[in-house]
Amino acid sequence: MFSTSPVLQGGVVDGKFLRFLFRFDSDLKLRDDKTVAPKSLIRSLPRRLSWFIAGCVLFVLLVILLFRFVNPTTSAFMLAYLVTDTNPDLQQKWVTLSDISPWMPLAVVASEDQRFPEHHGVDFAAIRKAVSEHKKGQGLRGASTITQQTAKNLFLWNGRSFVRKVLEAGLAIAIDALWPKRRILEVYLNIAEFGRGVYGVEAASRRYFGIPASQLSQAQAARLAAVLPNPKVLSAAQPSDYVWGRVAWIRGQMEQLSGLRYLRELDD
């Protein structure tokens, strides 16, 4: 009258039924794991991103600290020139600041960044002044410091994007914090572009005047500094009237800055 249950056979649980339950339970756990995994990954994403950003920042700081003691063998601008120029002929030779005429650092400070001994990488006062002049209808002039230009030439790319300017400012603040002022001038003068394929003051001095950078006169230093805003257009070999005008202005500023005494006490 009564049929025997397929589950119970003589009071013993059927093996097939047990395997079915095991597979069913495993399927449920697998589906739960598949649901939980993406949620766990999403929750951990901000933490992973924070660690990645922190790692990148630490790496950059270590590279900057390294370059305080080790001379960089190249720069982002030099690499860009080698990659993009159809017939590259790069000229660059590293020299110490003591092997550069003292007129040259004074000339670039007079031309590019007269508050260089005072600011901490970014000259916020100069930025506010430039913005104020622009609002009054005057042309928007650049407010990049020598430290910012060093950061741009060494690590970044040419252009006017907001992202690049933010990165440039951050790098400049880090460089100013980790390098002495004299080291900033030394690196800048060795990687700055003075003409097509001409990088660094030693190569520029030999190319345009046939002398080492240690022998540059006040006038020659001012002439090299005059082309720095746009060395691809302005020429130190054949100066235009505009360049000669800048040379005269730079020499006047060098005198107003008390001449060679202005930078003599850097990092003392």
pLDDT at 85 exceeding the cut of 80:
yes
| Position 218 pLDDT exceeds 70 | yes
Q: Quick one: average pLDDT of 62-86?
A: 95
d(CA 13, CA 243): 99
Percent of the chain with pLDDT over 70: 79
Q: Which two tokens stand for residue 94?
A: 């590293």
Residue 3 predicted with pLDDT over 60: no
pLDDT digits (tens, 9 = 90+) for 8-58: 445 444 555 445 545 645 655 555 555 555 666 677 778 888 888 899 999
Contacts of 94 (CB under 8 A, 6+ apart): 71, 190, 200, 202
Contacts (Cβ under 8 Å, ≥6 apart) of 24: none
The pLDDT score that the predictor gives to residue 174 is 97
pLDDT in tens, 137-187: 655 456 789 999 999 999 999 887 889 999 999 999 999 999 999 999 999
3-class DSSP string for 206-234? HHHHCCCHHHCCHHHHHHHHHCCCCCCCC
Q: Which residues contact 122 (CB under 8 A, 6 or more apart)?
A: 145, 147, 148, 169, 172, 173
* Dihedral (CA of 127, 133, 135, 137) sign: negative
Does 81 have pLDDT greater than 90?
Answer: yes
Taking phi over 0 as left and psi of -120 to 50 as alpha, with beta for the rest, 212 belongs to beta
Percentage above 90 pLDDT, the chain: 63
Mean pLDDT over residues 200-218, rounded? 97
**Residues 105-132, mean pLDDT to the nearest whole number:** 88
Task: Give the angle subtended at the CA of 87 by the CAs of 83 and 92, to the nearest 5°.
Answer: 75
Residue 265 has pLDDT above 80, yes or no: no
Its pTM stands at 0.80
Region 231-242: what's the mean pLDDT? Answer: 95
List the beta bridge partners of residue 91.
Answer: 198
